[in-house]
């Protein structure tokens, strides 16, 4: 398999980059564009930030809305999923003792945001466990149904879980939640640019996500979409000058900020589309499959069955190894992959493939882990 060679990325050639899903990797061209945007702003920041910025952001948001299947007036540009999640939790639990249900494998700051908000208002957070590896959609639905009693207010669920990389059955879960009187909030941090995403088709009240993980845009930038029902209710966590304005405007001005990344979205989407048309994303998905096969031969266990796997983000249960041990092995080999611990205690290894991923990257990953497995067996 051959990696996509253009455009260039600012990557250390001695390091194996298999963790862009954590922080993203912009292209050098888009980094340069962001620098040009900053210089243009600084020529007359007092005029630009108070005037033309909003119109330019509206144009960027309109292109982004098309990309994620939304109306422009239903979408705001935010810094990342953490900002969006905190704002949503505070907004929805501010004036009510909400009952909120999440998987225990949801991103830790998302869980904590709801715990903080619900504690302040007298609400309740219920965490649901689904054993790894996840076997089927039916198993996921059965776990929620068995562990959640009665009606509740909000289900918060990832489109693709961050640590386990499981592609969760969001539409099925949203319909189940509706039978319990609940609305669904979707964390799509690993959605836009990774899988086909049409936020209006998820039966959700709110969808948010980070864009710099899977689009080649400089960090930080993300999005927040709301249904008509919640558009006036969701407010930024920071009360700033435009807090009472439209959704886009109230998140556009959370205080003085650097809008350069957000002003590169149109070109980032265009670059992503070129990769898609050239088959570069499909090749990256093939490399993820290839890596999974080789890691499986080492005894690493995929976190879900094939129909629940994400195309370019894969996570594995690593038997017999602590997370710190595995992380040290990869650091020694200059291989960047995410290593952590599942809610149930298993060590997890997560890799992400991109248009620059090569067979040699997978070879280095597997070689490092093979050595670790042999060392463990020999003890």
The residue written with tokens 């108070």 in the block is: 50
Average of per-residue pLDDT values in the chain: 94
206: left (phi over 0), alpha (psi -120 to 50) or beta: beta
pLDDT band for position 114 (cuts 50, 70, 90)? very high
Percentage of the chain beyond pLDDT 70 is: 97
pLDDT greater than 70 at residue 378: no
CA dist 369 to 115, 235, 326, Å? 37, 46, 8
Which segment of 1-5, 229-233, 325-329, 355-359 scores lowest on mean pLDDT?
A: 1-5
Cβ-Cβ contacts under 8 Å for 245 (sequence gap 6 or more):
none
Residue 19: strand, helix, or coil: coil
pLDDT, one tens digit per residue, over 318-355 is 999 999 999 999 999 999 999 999 999 999 999 999 99
pLDDT band for position 242 (cuts 50, 70, 90)? confident
3-state percent breakdown (helix, strand, coil) of the chain, nearest 5: 45, 15, 40
CA dist 284 to 207, 291, 311, Å? 26, 10, 8
Q: Which pLDDT value is given to residue 376?
A: 61
Please work out, in degrees rounded to the nearest 5, the angle formed at the alpha carbon of residue 139 by the alpha carbons of 136 and 145: 145
Contact 326, 346 (CB under 8 A): no
DSSP-assigned letters across all residues of 71-131: -GGGEEEES-HHHHHHHHHHHHHSSS--EEEEETTS-HHHHHHHHHHHHHHT-EEEEE--P
Backbone angles phi, psi at 139, to 5 degrees: -65, -40
Q: Which pLDDT value is given to residue 1?
A: 40
pLDDT greater than 80 at residue 66: yes
Q: What single-letter DSSP state applies at residue 225?
A: E
Q: What single-letter DSSP state applies at residue 215?
A: S
- Look at strands 183-187 and 75-78 and give their pairing: unpaired
Residues 365 and 191: their CA atoms lie apart, in Å, by 25
| Domains of the chain, CATH where assigned | 30-269 (3.40.640.10), 279-378 (3.90.1150.10)
Residues 111 and 90: their CA atoms lie apart, in Å, by 12
pTM of the model: 0.94
pLDDT, one tens digit per residue, over 10-51 is 999 999 999 999 999 999 999 999 999 999 999 999 999 988
Residues 369 and 364: their CA atoms lie apart, in Å, by 9
DSSP-assigned letters across all residues of 158-186: ESB-TTT-BB--HHHHHHHHHHTT-EEEE
């Amino acid at each position: 398999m051959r990696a996509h060679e253009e455009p260039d990325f600012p990557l250390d050639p001695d390091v194996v980059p298999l963790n862009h899903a954590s922080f993203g990797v912009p292209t050098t061209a888009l980094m340069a564009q962001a620098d040009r945007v900053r210089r243009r702003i600084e020529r007359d920041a007092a005029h630009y930030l108070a005037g033309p910025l909003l119109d330019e952001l509206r144009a960027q948001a309109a292109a982004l809305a098309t990309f994620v299947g939304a109306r422009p007036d239903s979408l705001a540009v935010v810094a990342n999923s953490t900002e969006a999640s905190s704002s949503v939790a505070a907004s929805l639990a501010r004036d009510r003792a909400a009952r909120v249900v999440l998987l225990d494998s949801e991103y830790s700051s998302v869980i904590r945001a709801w715990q903080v908000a619900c504690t302040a208002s007298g609400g309740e957070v219920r965490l649901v466990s689904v054993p790894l590896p996840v076997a089927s959609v039916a198993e996921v639905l059965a776990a929620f149904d068995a562990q959640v009693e009665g009606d509740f207010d909000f289900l918060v669920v990832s489109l693709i879980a961050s640590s386990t990389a499981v592609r969760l059955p969001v539409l099925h879960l949203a319909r189940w939640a509706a039978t319990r009187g609940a609305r669904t909030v979707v964390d799509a941090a690993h959605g836009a640019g990774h899988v086909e995403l049409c936020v209006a088709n998820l039966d959700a009240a709110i969808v948010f996500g980070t864009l710099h993980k899977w689009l080649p845009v400089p960090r930080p930038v993300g999005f927040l979409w709301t249904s008509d029902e919640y558009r006036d209710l969701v407010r930024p966590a920071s009360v700033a000058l435009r807090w009472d304005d439209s959704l886009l405007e109230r998140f556009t001005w959370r205080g003085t900020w650097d809008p350069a990344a957000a002003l590169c979205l149109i070109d980032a989407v265009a670059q992503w589309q070129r990769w898609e048309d050239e088959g570069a994303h499909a090749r990256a998905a093939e490399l993820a499959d290839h890596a999974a096969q080789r890691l499986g031969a080492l005894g690493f266990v995929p976190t879900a069955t094939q129909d629940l796997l994400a195309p370019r983000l894969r996570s594995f249960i690593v038997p017999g190894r602590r997370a710190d041990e595995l992380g040290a092995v990869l650091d020694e080999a200059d291989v960047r992959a995410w290593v952590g611990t599942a809610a149930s205690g298993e060590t997890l290894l997560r890799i992400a493939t991109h248009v620059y991923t090569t067979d040699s990257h997978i070879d280095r990953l597997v070689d490092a882990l093979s050595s670790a497995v042999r060392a463990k067996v020999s003890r």
